[in-house]
Homo-oligomer: A and B are copies of this chain.
């Protein structure tokens, strides 16, 4: 995993993260700023940065001590937000996105991070990395601020595919539980299936089938199935992993973000309404900042693609330095935990049997 870095770190294992510098809404400057912030916080990450070298070189070289840990990989083309996934899949060679995925494919990096077009990124990742054996539909998982002790729940799929069959939903449950075990350190995550009511007779026919299959599969797949959950349960402590199709999950994710943003804006307005409230805001500054941090979507930035031969983290297109840095931190954490190998093993064992696989279970604990 050496890439010729000049800062050896007392023999600590180094993690290489492949970063797509282009294609985000704020351009390469935000990506490089996030990379530099991550590099400073975590001396054990090295980077391969993909994009236009003439643009990237001066940006990176400004940060001498970090520059030595960044390898720039020139890619002349950029995938834009309006490019169609099918086009990028066929003609994406030479783009920074394609190049970033290629580094994972070639084993130079453990994980790739991109702020680019989600559909195109999933298409390129699918065609280059291929799906894990037994996976029909890969999914995008996100973290969601919650009342649970760890502060977050996992929800998937939040937008890889607009539909999901019962088998797909069961795989999402298995993959989401594996993510929660590694990312949230939960031995036996509680999985809920998103529906319009918690009674068993409610909802669409495919959800009832998925409900029955999850009930039967929970032990083999290493999760506890809590049944149907509703939209209001997503930020609750009733559940750790929320499973849904990518259409519903994407709407829920964006609705939640939009609501949190509205409340934050109204809060800011409330505190600037009068001299007295401005003074109050000053007094409560510490508490308010902690709250802001807790619900700031940039701090949990990063949808993880699950079900591929390799880990890909999709950052928000509009991510700034804070957002990019959060996505890189998540990517490095997943790479270090060997998450994807564990997920592959879990999927294989869950597929192989309706029987439990305890030797696998212990292997997955952190």
CA distance A208 to B173 in the complex (A): 30
User: Which positions 252-309 of chain A face chain B at CB distance < 8 Å?
Assistant: 252-267, 270-271, 273-274, 276-277, 279-284, 286-288, 290-291, 294-295
- Counting CB contacts under 8 A, is A106 at the interface? no
| Contact present for A288 and B263 (CB under 8 Å) | no
Task: Name the one of B270, B281, B295 contacting A280, with C-beta atoms under 8 angstroms.
Answer: B281
- Counting CB contacts under 8 A, is A250 at the interface? yes
The stretch of A31-39, A45-53, A195-203, A338-346 in contact with B is A195-203
A196-B162, A231-B252, A248-B247 as given contacts; A277 in contact with B287, CB under 8 Å: yes
| Contact present for B267 and A159 (CB under 8 Å) | no
| Contact present for A276 and B284 (CB under 8 Å) | yes
Residues of B within 8 A of A271 (CB): 284, 287
The stretch of A94-102, A233-241, A349-357 in contact with B is A233-241
| Contact present for B266 and A276 (CB under 8 Å) | no
CA distance A199 to B230 in the complex (A): 28
CA distance A189 to B252 in the complex (A): 24
- Counting CB contacts under 8 A, is A319 at the interface? no
Nearest-neighbor residue (CB-CB) of A294 within chain B: B266
Task: Name the one of B231, B246, B261 contacting A253, with C-beta atoms under 8 angstroms.
Answer: B231
CA distance A280 to B288 in the complex (A): 11
Can you tell how many copies of this chain the complex includes?
Answer: 2
Nearest-neighbor residue (CB-CB) of A233 within chain B: B258
Residues of B within 8 A of A254 (CB): 230-232
Contact with B along A113-146 (1 / 0, CB 8 A): 0000000000000000000000000000000011
Residues of B within 8 A of A235 (CB): 258-259, 261-262
A196, A257, A273, A282: which has the most chain B beta carbons within 10 Å?
A: A196
- Counting CB contacts under 8 A, is A147 at the interface? yes
- Counting CB contacts under 8 A, is A82 at the interface? yes
A199-B82, A255-B231, A256-B255 as given contacts; A266 in contact with B295, CB under 8 Å: yes
- Counting CB contacts under 8 A, is A204 at the interface? yes
- Distance of A317 from chain B, by nearest CB (Å): 11
Q: What would 21 A/B residue contacts be, using CB atoms closer than 8 Å?
A: A162-B203, A163-B204, A194-B251, A196-B246, A196-B250, A203-B247, A204-B247, A231-B258, A232-B254, A232-B258, A232-B261, A234-B259, A251-B251, A263-B263, A263-B295, A267-B267, A267-B291, A273-B287, A276-B286, A277-B286, A280-B282
